[in-house]
Amino acid sequence: MLDLGCGTGRVSLAVAAAGHRVVGIDPNANSLAAARGKRGAEGVTWIDGTSAQIPEGSFDVAIMTAHVAQAISDDADWSRTLADVHRAIVPGGRLAFDSRDPDARAWERWTPANTRGTRFLPDGSAAGRSWHRRFHC
């Protein structure tokens, strides 16, 4: 699996832990450093870069999660990214990505009142309270 825009590696690590070959690519060196420091990181090939650095090879699946696709706002960059991914996946392979509908204005609901809650660890113990807060730039 190719995880383009892998960030800190949450998805890459989970897929690798399930026994799959994973390549994670991200242009943010700090995110990759965090990914490389996590348990199981040795099971993923981490690459600092963009779609231009996708290694030659065959991928059954390429993913772009957490709004990576939306971060590519230039039409020429998007076309180049799609061409790079197409070159990297096997015939019949798949590219999956997510995006948000800006007309839904979901960020208006990212307030402490709507998102406050206690987060729990797998063993059931409380990890702490968290919430989302919008910042205006």
For residues 63-79, average pLDDT? 89
pLDDT of 8 reads 94
Long-range contacts of 65-74 (CB under 8 A, 24+ apart): 65/3, 65/5, 65/11, 65/97, 65/98, 66/5, 66/7, 66/98, 67/98, 67/99, 67/100, 68/4, 68/5, 68/97, 69/97, 69/98, 69/99, 70/99, 70/100, 71/5
- Indicate the pTM of the whole model: 0.74
Residue 42 is predicted with a pLDDT of 98
Q: Mean pLDDT, to the nearest integer, of 77-104?
A: 90
Domains of the chain, CATH where assigned: 2-97 (3.40.50.150)
Q: How distant, in Å, are the alpha carbons of 43, 44, 51, 71, 89 from that of 8?
A: 14, 12, 17, 16, 23
Quote the pLDDT of residue 32.
96
Q: What are the tens digits of pLDDT across the range 96-137?
A: 988 777 788 877 877 888 878 887 777 888 777 776 665 554
